[in-house]
Amino acid sequence: MPRILVAEDEHRIASFVEKGLRAAGYGVETVADGVDALTIARSGDVDLVLLDLGLPGIDGLEVLRRLREGGSGVPVIILTARDSAADTVAGFEGGANDYVAKPFRFDELLARVRARLLDARQQQGAAPVQALDCGRVSLDLRTRRITSDAGTFDLSAREYALAEEFMRNPEQVLSREQLLSRVWGLDFDPGSNVVDVYVRYLRRKIGAEHLKTVRGMGYRFTGEP
């Protein structure tokens, strides 16, 4: 399980991000100041850092500078309210791998986390995963196309995120609440029927037999109906 360090001094945001990442299957450690962030990031025990710039003690840019000067290559995504061009340039020139301005959508942040972790794996020599194959269903991670007995179809960004979530958890019952938090973000209206709508979209493209409704619980994906 990849471990992520969240360095954020606003408790509401830190809690929101931590819950979302844990729901997506990551281990999370949260700190509220730059000194602790630098210590933990240097330890080698985390696989990625989400770094706020306005940290007390040592600000985020100084944490980043010291990390890179010390030879650490841990992926760093800056997560900050500073959205000027100068701040963005300073972040990238300081060694950040990505830059996300607040406010943000959690699904976008999660996509960036996954991409930066994948980049790190590839740089370490791990063979990149190009497709998820579950029985008769295959999801191409590069082209965002899904293939089954029903044919090959392009997916929208949200359809792709939902399909990926199901295919990374085959035969598991996923509740609507879990899918909302992992695909749409924890701030999405829990009373929305958006999950049911997008499940219908996926069923049209892969066949209803691959996505079963478990009454009162949620949905289960199976590659071999």
Q: Report in angstroms the alpha-carbon separations of 202 from 44, 45, 175, 209.
A: 40, 38, 16, 11
Tell me: do 159 and 119 sit in the same domain. no
CB neighbourhood size of 67 (10 A): 21
Q: Average per-residue pLDDT in the chain?
A: 87
Q: For the chain, how many structural domains are there in total?
A: 2
Q: Mind listing the pLDDT tens digit for each residue in 78-126? A: 998 887 888 888 888 889 999 988 888 888 888 889 888 888 877 766 5
At 32 the pLDDT is: 94
Tell me: do 180 and 114 sit in the same domain. no
Tell me: do 95 and 21 sit in the same domain. yes
Domain CATH number, residue 108: 3.40.50.2300
Tell me: do 156 and 53 sit in the same domain. no
At 119 the pLDDT is: 80
Domain containing residue 213: 131-221
Domain CATH number, residue 149: 1.10.10.10
Q: Kindly report the pTM of this predicted structure.
A: 0.59
Q: Which of 123, 154, 187 is the last residue of a domain?
A: 123
- The confidence band for 214, taking pLDDT boundaries of 50, 70 and 90, is very high
